[in-house]
Amino acid sequence: MISSTSHAFDEHEVLHKLKHYLPAQAPLKDFIHHNTLHAFQYLKFDKAIFSASAILGYKVSLTLAEYREHFRTGRIKEPVLDRIITQKKGRDNLQEWKDKLLTANYQRPSPRIGMLRSNWKKLHQVDLDSLVHPLLFRILCSYLDQGIAIWNFPVWNKGFLTAIRDLEKTSYTSFFRTPRAKELLLKGHCSVQQLLRILVGFNEHLYGQYIFDQQFAHQGWSGMVATVEANPETLLDHRKISLHDLIAFELLLEIDALDYHFGESWLPLEQALPTQPEELFAEVVVTELDEVTMLWQEAFEWSYYDEVLAGIQHQSPNGIVKKKSFQALFCIDDRECSLRRYLESEDTNCETFGTPGFFGVEFYFQPDHGKFYTKLCPAPVTPKYLIKEIGIRRKHKTDAHFLKNTHSLFGGWLIAQTIGFWSAFKLFLNIFKPSMGPATATSLHHMDKQSRLTIENKHPEHTEKGLQVGFTIDEMVVRVEGLLKSIGLIKDFAPLVYVVGHGSSSVNNPHYAAYDCGACSGRAGSVNSRVICFMANHPVVRKRLAEKGIVIPEHTQFIGALHDTTRDEIVYFDEDTLTVSNKELHRYNEGTFLNALHLNAKERSRRFESIDTNSDAGEIHEQIKIRSVSLFEPRPELNHATNALCIIGRRELSKHLFLDRRAFLNSFDYRVDPEGNYLFNIIKAAAPVCGGINLEYFFSRTDNQKLGAGTKLPHNVMGLFGVANGIDGDLRPGLPSQMIEVHDPVRLLMIVEHFPEVVLKTIQRLPETYEWFINEWVKLVVIHPETKMLYTFRGGLFERYTTLHEAVNPIADMEQLIETSHDNLPVYELQR
Amino acid sequence: MTQTLELFILIPFQGFVLSLFIPAQREGLISKIVFGTVGIHLAGFQVFLVYWLLHGYPTLNLKEFVLFKSLDYEFLIDFYFDKITATYLFVGSVLTFMVTIYSRYYLHRETGYKRFFNTILFFYLGYNIIIFSGNIETLFIGWEVLGISSFLLIAFYRDRYLPVKNAVKVFSIYRIGDVGLLLAMWMSHHLFHENITFLKLNNYELVHNHLQAHSWVGVFISLMLLIAAAAKSAQLPFSTWLPRAMEGPTPSSAIFYGSLSVHMGVFLLLRTFPFWEHQLSIRILIGLMGLFTSILATGMARVQSSVKSQVAYSSIAQIGLIFIEVAAGFHYLALFHFAGNAFLRTYQLLVSPSVVSYQIREQFYNFIPRQHTIEDSLPKRIEFTIYMLCLKEWNLDAMMYNYLWNPIKWVGKKLGYLNTTRVLLFFIPVFVVGVVLLMNKEFVPATVQPYLPVTFSIIGVAMVLKSFTERLHARMSWILVLLNHFWVALSISFNAHFDYTHTVLYLSGIAVFGLIGYFALRRLKNLEGSIDMNRFHGHVYKHPKIALVFLISCLAVSGFPITPTFIGEDLIFSHIYEDQVILAFLTALSFIVDGLAIIRIYARVFLGPHSKSVYEMGYRSS
């Protein structure tokens, strides 16, 4: 084994692979939903999740007991289950497999990750993790810290390893307990390869696996380091850190720990290894347990899908609006689904649309007095434009409890005896009369309602830091046309067209960014709604649009707004630009919106234990608002929990259905887009955005310990970029249990209204998009716009699908339904 | 007025007992009982407070009842009320009341909702016993309750590794404090020849007369009290436990480790002030301890990059200042400072999750790339050194390991050759011989007699050290813990002439609950197979009932005030004479390690990630 001629270890390749597999969550302020198992996305869904499970030890589905319970309560339907088993295993084996599903017991073998490195404990009785982790995490957190510590890491402008070397060189003390590791660092003999040779030995085949084992013992920290390395701007106060530096330093600490434990005379790990551990990424063999689990999962999913599809297929013709009172554009977000339903029932002449909440305008935003730019468009897009907020003199209120002075000796002495007593009073107020304060994170502060925005660019050379300030007329026309055509709104404009972005308000919530608009990179959509309205109201833009066949009547005005999804409040922007007659209409519509918001609040409240859903809608709404500013409320809203559908088509497809806030709704009219060009753009964005949200909820729900953040109650904020349990734990990416506990882990079902052959061509245009469907990370069903037949996408082809449900149950009294049930509700047909 | 004092103990006690019997699913009922208990307590106190103030705020003392009495020994429960109690009760009841309401919503749907509120009430009971206590014995009861409830709250998330590890760590520091208190009790008993009440300590003449003859005894008692106070209030060198205690839900961390629990050391000093008031060296020592703590803790607070540890260290620094204030005799200032610090840190911890959105927004609008801190003006080498030391917490945590636990473990490992059979084959006959000799003391040569207690005591310590380091069998570890007590009893029986009832009293709880605990472990072994002590097994996940039975056995065996053993422990000490420092030390050591070994068995067997459900558990560092 001593021969080192073969170079089996390619550091660059191993690190590259490692970065791919580590959690990719950005710092808290930039929280963006994504597929947690993105590294496995090149595989088919079932193969992928069971590989992730066998290799990395994740729990990727419900337990058999949970599925069986769902079967017993009828949430998994027997005909659906029979159909799935028959499809996959053949009619002859139906009974055999059904027995396995219902009664067999299985044991999952131990995962591969950690097997190699665990030999330190098994063979040598030394617990490296407990010797290394606490110090490593503390140093790492101090180096990355964004503003919690008062005395910051003294060497901050150099790379991580260099910074530590500087500290070690110029100090009377050391992070290391023994001399050798320090010497290796100072003399620069600390390439990953050299250190691994000391620790593991000459067998380079083990190196890659050792690094994986080591880094996956704290995947949260490693993932954060990899993310910051790839995207340094994500920390406002930049840091030059790399995964390589982290690994090298950790290897040094391990050598140090072993030297401390054994003296310098210990043998590398390979020496005592009884057998070669299994190759980490060797092919994973699908077990019977995996097959059984997947059958259950599909049956669980199709039990729900089938209901939805039956409902969609039986549209009622009375969905079409003749004379339009107003139109309103919302984000596709599943939280807007119920508000639109209430608007339509409050005012049957209004019309609502759904489109990604950045409304087709992509730019960076600089608030007045802001020192940085904020990206307001989907995360993968890199905008070339800058919108600036001007003309406000807003003062941010401060809260003495966050002052650094409270942590100094004499400052603390003074403050404890003065403000200390004020704290007791504040706590009292916060418990008995919660109200908005400086600690609240609210979307209303994202942009000041009274401010002006620099939207129009008059000189293309007007740029700042390489970004063009505002949009030119041409650029505006393209964006407005794109937006209107993609949602199929090209004629019959109502006098008022509302464009409603969304955001949220919460307090004591480090995950606040996850509650805002995903299409705006985890910010509120208020600026985008104002910007697109400005464009659509611009006379020159309108003239040019008319030339392109989109005639917006002169009396029609677009008006921007922001929906706070936590508080169920709407603020409108630039109301003073409305004409007199529109102002009057607007005043009337405001009442409609308010009623709809009350009812929406009531519907949401059925999930909240602390609110009595039987009360009057207006009263409930007040309590919902209080809830959003209560320190002690870990669930200000439930965010995307229970999301399961993405419907791309005309509103008539789903207008008659009660979908229980589970659907992303993207408006689209196949008649406007026979070639599928706009559809292509919609799907290109919807698959990763909605699919990403869905899968993050999916995996945070199935394994809240390793893929989610666990319960948020003990969370401790680390360096302003992450949360951990206690003071020396790993960072916890993913969603906390309070966000996912009511979520049913089902994959997103995308339903598209167009001709199957057009959809097939459309999804195949871009391999990245196609991957979502062909590997079944998102399920796809097409509804034929003329025949209303359903086609499901399987193995690259569309197959006819007949629903097992004849139709869905009608419901007349929605209110009663809402008042009596806490759980996820089936699909109902609304009787209007 | 005096008679009402006992109500303030009874109310939380009844609430606690009641809360135990509510089914875990009844969230609403549980929270109502807790809310009611703490609410009534708070309201009752407010009324009492007004009444008391109107009557010229007298100092009250209530001789409640005598738990045990023999010729030269009396175990007395005594309650006391003065300005210090009033302040502590005011802060404690207000904070507990608000935090229970807070937690009603905050903990909604959390597994362990009931457990959380049971523990809160238990804690509150302990808190009240301490602040109302009229003598050290009564105070000690509350002290123990506080220790256990802290352990349970830190290990609230008992199926994760770190909370359990840290809970054991904190418990072991508390244990040191407990023994400080135990030794202080022992010596003061010899000093005053009675269970001295705090009321009598105010009698300058009495204290002065006793101390004059035995000045080193006074110093010894004061030192032991100081150790107990320093451990509980996270002063040097014990400071590092406090940030590590922040493992439970945020409100529990806020109220206990941010405010109430951590100020108990200050309370002990205030309460015993009349005793050491005239010992200048002790006052200087307390002042210096406070000074060093506040300086070092401020440094550590400045480098913390996680919000809870930052609050923890700044709280320690303030408590250091309070120690100085107490030592200097500024008691009103100290009380005022305590109240303000408690409120401030509680609130800071409660709003700590908001720090992200708040600071990020501040930074977004007011970012200044790099602020010059005061330390930057130091020479680089000094600056870096201090920074690194602060980050490493001045190696305090490592020091605890190296000087305290490692020697214990080292000795334990030297006893590695012992196994169950050898223990039984060798030590049982020796024990029997010991007992026979005890029955027939006249046959033992007079020259040998004085050495026997120490010899048996050493064997007892060896037992418990072996138990503490046992790696293979949980049951073996348990048996060794039990045997230790028998050796202690034997050793003390040789030391003094006393009634056998004392020994029976001492061993009764241990024997009964030792057996119960043994059967609990045996049942578990039958169900789950062999249980080693090398790792956490987390069996509470599947066997919560066995875990509960075993926990109660653990408490009983470790001298928790639920069996006569509790009094027995104190009694045993009263039979060690004041000049037998070695014997007292050995007995104390065996009690410390005994408690640790017991909690270690409980933690390793029942807590931590369930070893048989790998896929449903948090990973090691989570």
In the block, which residue shows the tokens 């806020």? Answer: B254
The answer to whether the CB atoms of B375 and A732 lie below 8 A apart is no
pLDDT at A318: 57
Instruction: Provide the sign of the torsion angle of the four alpha carbons A211, A215, A216, A217, taken in this order.
Output: positive
Neighbour tally for B279: CB within 10 Å:
18
Phi and psi angles of residue B440, each rounded to the nearest 5 degrees, phi first: -120, 60
d(CA A812, CA A818): 12
Q: What is the DSSP letter of B22?
A: S
Q: Could you tell me the sign of the dihedral formed by the alpha carbons of A536, A540, A546, A551, in that order?
A: positive
Phi, psi of A299 (to 5 degrees): -65, -40
Confidence of residue A830 (pLDDT cuts 50, 70, 90): confident
* Averaged pLDDT for residues B204-209: 80
- Integer angstrom CA distances of residue B236 from B264, B269, B296, B387: 15, 15, 9, 18
Tell me the two tokens of residue A802: 């007949």
Q: How far apart are CA B494 and CA B437, in angstroms?
A: 9
Angle between helices A409-417 and B307-328 (to 10 degrees): 80
Q: How far apart are CA B468 and CA B595, in angstroms?
A: 9
Is residue A244 included in any domain, yes or no?
yes
Among B109, B154, B354, B620, most A C-beta atoms within 10 A, so best to mutate, is: B354
Cβ–Cβ under 8 Å, residues A18 and A55:
no
pLDDT of residue B74: 77
Do A369 and A426 fall within a single domain? no
Paired sense of beta strands A557-564 and A505-506, if any: unpaired
Residues sharing a CB contact under 8 Å with residue A496, sequence separation 6 or more, in sequence order = A326, A327, A556, A557, A559, A582, A585, A586, A589
Q: pLDDT band for B191, please (50, 70, 90 cuts).
A: confident
Residues 123-182 of B with CB under 8 A from A: 156-157, 160, 162-163, 165-166
Angstrom CA distances, A48 to A58, A777, B366, stand at 11, 10, 46
Q: HSE of B226 in the Cβ direction (CA atoms, 13 Å)?
A: 27
ipTM: 0.92
Q: Are B467 and B477 in contact (CB under 8 A)?
A: yes
Residues A562 and A614 in one domain: yes
pLDDT confidence band for B500 (50 / 70 / 90): confident
Please give the average per-residue pLDDT across A546-561, as a whole number: 94
Nearest to A407 among B302, B321, B616 (CB): B302
Residues 6+ apart with CB under 8 A from A140: A160, A221, A225, A246
Chain A nearest-CA distance from B382, in A, is: 7
Whether residue A56 lies inside any domain: the answer is no
* A151 and A261 together in one domain: yes
Contact B88, B131 (CB under 8 A): yes
Residue B498 pLDDT > 80: no
Amino acid at A712: K
* Upstream peptide bond of A27 is cis (omega within 30 degrees of 0): no
Q: How far apart are CA B46 and CA B89, in angstroms?
A: 10
Which residue's structure tokens are 């805002």? A516
The whole-number pLDDT of residue B459 equals 85
B615–A contact, CB cutoff 8 A = yes
Listed in sequence order, the residues at least 6 apart from A378 whose beta carbon sits closer than 8 Å to its beta carbon are A356, A358, A362, A518, A519, A520, A521, A685, A689
For B8-38, the pLDDT digits (tens) are 988 999 999 999 999 988 888 999 999 999 9
End-to-end CA distance of chain B: 52
Q: How many domains in chain A? A: 3
Residues A416 and A548 in one domain: no
The DSSP secondary-structure symbol of A615 reads S
Nearest to B228 by CA among B168, B165, B186: B186
The answer to the question of residue A719 being in a domain is: no
Distance CA A26, CA A531 (A): 27
A562 in any annotated domain: yes
In this prediction, residues A747-773 reach a mean pLDDT of 95
3-state secondary structure of B336: helix
- Say which residues have a Cβ less than 8 Å from residue A546's Cβ, sequence separation at least 6: A552
What is the reported pLDDT for B190?
Answer: 82
What are the backbone angles phi and psi of residue A365, rounded to the nearest 5°?
-120, 135
Determine the residue of chain A that is closest to B314 in CA distance.
A407
Instruction: Tell me if A48 is assigned to some domain.
Output: no
Mean pLDDT of A394-406: 78
Give dist(CA B37, CA B52) in Å, integer.
22
Q: Are the Cβ atoms of A236 and B388 closer than 8 angstroms?
A: no
Q: Is residue A309 part of a domain?
A: no
Question: Which amino acid belongs to residue A209?
Answer: Q
Give the pTM.
0.93
Q: Is B535 exposed, middle or buried (0-12, 13-18, 19+ CB in 10 A)?
A: middle
* H-only helix segments in A263-367: 269-272, 288-313, 337-346
Q: Does B272 touch chain A (CB under 8 A)?
A: no
Q: Which residue of B has its CA nearest to A152?
A: B303
Which of B30, B120, B300, B306 to substitute to test the interface with A, most A CBs within 10 Å?
B306
Secondary structure, 3-state, A235-251: CCCCCCCCHHHHHHHHH
Q: Of A365, A288, A666, give the one whose Cα is nearest residue A525.
A: A365
Helix (H) or strand (E) holding A469, with range, is strand A467-469
Burial of B295 (0-12, 13-18, 19+ CB in 10 A): middle
Q: Measured between beta carbons, which residues in chain B are less than 8 angstroms from residue A822?
A: none
Q: What is the mean pLDDT of residues B45-49?
A: 92
Q: Tell me the C-alpha distance between B174 and B149, whole Å.
A: 12
Question: Would the CB atoms of B362 and A727 count as touching at under 8 Å?
Answer: no
**Band of the pLDDT at A156, cuts 50, 70, 90?**
confident
Residues in chain B: 622
Closest CA–CA distance from residue A572 to any residue of chain B (Å): 24
Q: Which residue has the tokens 């070669």?
A: A276
Confidence of residue A317 (pLDDT cuts 50, 70, 90): low
Closest chain A CA to residue B336: A417
| Phi, psi values for residue A376, rounded to 5° | -120, 70
Cβ atoms of A632 and A431 closer than 8 Å: yes
Structure-block tokens of residue A456: 């129009």
* pLDDT higher than threshold 90 for residue A807: no
Question: β-strands A778-783, A748-753: how paired?
Answer: parallel
Minimum CA–CA partner of A368 in chain B: B365
Long-range contacts from A83-91, C-beta under 8 angstroms, 24+ separation? A83/A302, A83/A804, A84/A295, A84/A298, A84/A299, A84/A302, A85/A295, A85/A299, A88/A295, A88/A298, A89/A295
Residue A711 binned pLDDT confidence (cut-offs 50, 70, 90):
very high
Closest to B249 (Cβ–Cβ): which among A145, A149, A713?
A: A713
Rounded (5°) CA angle B13-B16-B17: 90
Closest residue of B to A239, CA-based? B369
Both structure tokens of A678? 């706009």
Q: How confident is the model at residue A6 (pLDDT cuts 50, 70, 90)?
A: low
Query: Could you tell me if A231 and A373 lie in one domain?
Result: no
* Domain assignment of residue A196, given as a range: 11-30+113-272
User: Of A575, A608, A638, at which residue does a domain stop?
Assistant: A638
Rounded to whole angstroms, the maximal C-alpha distance in chain A is 89
Question: CA distances (Å), A281 to each of A56, A86, A117, in order?
Answer: 10, 32, 16
Residue A337, phi then psi, degrees to nearest 5: -55, -45
For residue B243, which residues of chain A lie inside 8 Å, CB to CB?
Answer: 727
Of B105, B163, B340, the CB nearest to A417: B340
pLDDT tens sequence across A642-686: 999 999 999 999 998 999 999 999 999 999 999 999 999 999 999
pLDDT of residue A598: 96
- Name the one residue in this structure whose structure tokens are 């138990």: B467
Nearest by Cα to A163 from A104, A48, A249: A249
Does residue A295 form part of some domain?
Answer: no
Nearest CA in chain A to B380: A170
Are B236 and B396 in contact by the 8 Å Cβ rule? The answer is: yes
A489, part of any domain? yes
Amino acid at A678: Y
For the cut 90, the answer to whether the pLDDT of residue A824 exceeds it is no
Compute the distance between CA of residue B576 and CA of residue B578 in angstroms, rounded to an integer: 7
Q: Rounded to an integer, what distance in angstroms lies between the CA atom of residue A445 and that of residue A526?
A: 10
* Same domain, yes or no: A260 and A342: no
CA–CA distance, B420 with A121 (Å, rounded to integer): 25
Interchain contact B380–A (C-beta under 8 A):
yes
User: If you measure CA to CA, which chain A residue comes closest to B317?
Assistant: A409
- A510 and B356 within 8 Å at the Cβ level: the answer is yes
Same domain assignment for residues A236 and A352: no
Q: Residues A527, A418: one domain?
A: no
What's the confidence (pLDDT) of residue B372? 65
* pLDDT, tens digit, 9 for 90 and up, residues A236-257: 888 999 999 999 999 999 999 9
User: Could you say which residues from 392 to 451 on chain B have a Cβ atom under 8 Å away from some Cβ of chain A?
Assistant: 392
Helices (H) and strands (E) in chain A, counts: 28, 24
Is the Cβ pair A172, B309 closer than 8 Å?
no
Chain A partners within 8 Å of B298 (Cβ): 407-409, 412
What integer pLDDT is reported at residue B211 of this predicted model?
78
Distance of CA A639 to the CA centre of its chain: 10
Determine contact, residues A702/A60, Cβ cutoff 8 Å: yes
Q: What whole-number percentage of chain B has pLDDT above 70?
A: 99
The pLDDT tens digits of the residues spanning B283-337 come to 999 999 999 999 999 999 999 999 999 999 999 999 999 999 999 999 999 999 9
Asked whether the beta carbons of A559 and A586 are under 8 A apart, the reply is yes
- CA B603 to centroid of chain Cα atoms: 16
- The single residue listed with the structure tokens 């419901």 is A811
CA distance A168 to chain B (A): 8
Are residues A406 and A386 part of one domain?
A: no
Q: What is the token pair recorded at B279?
A: 């010992």
Looking at the structure, do residues A256 and A350 belong to the same domain, yes or no? no
**Which residue carries 């009033």 as its tokens?**
B86
| Whether residue A532 sits in one domain with residue A473 | yes
Residue type, A60: V
The closest of B66, B126, B33, B148 to B551, measured between CA atoms, is B148
pLDDT in tens, A120-134: 988 888 899 999 999
Q: Tell if the CB–CB gap between B350 and A417 is shorter than 8 Å.
A: no
Q: How close B410 comes to chain A (CA, Å)?
A: 14
List CB contacts (< 8 A) between A135 and chain B: 392
The verdict on a CB contact (< 8 Å) between B337 and A705 is: no
- My answer on whether A384 and A464 are in the same domain is yes
Q: Quick check: B341 and A420 CB within 8 A?
A: yes
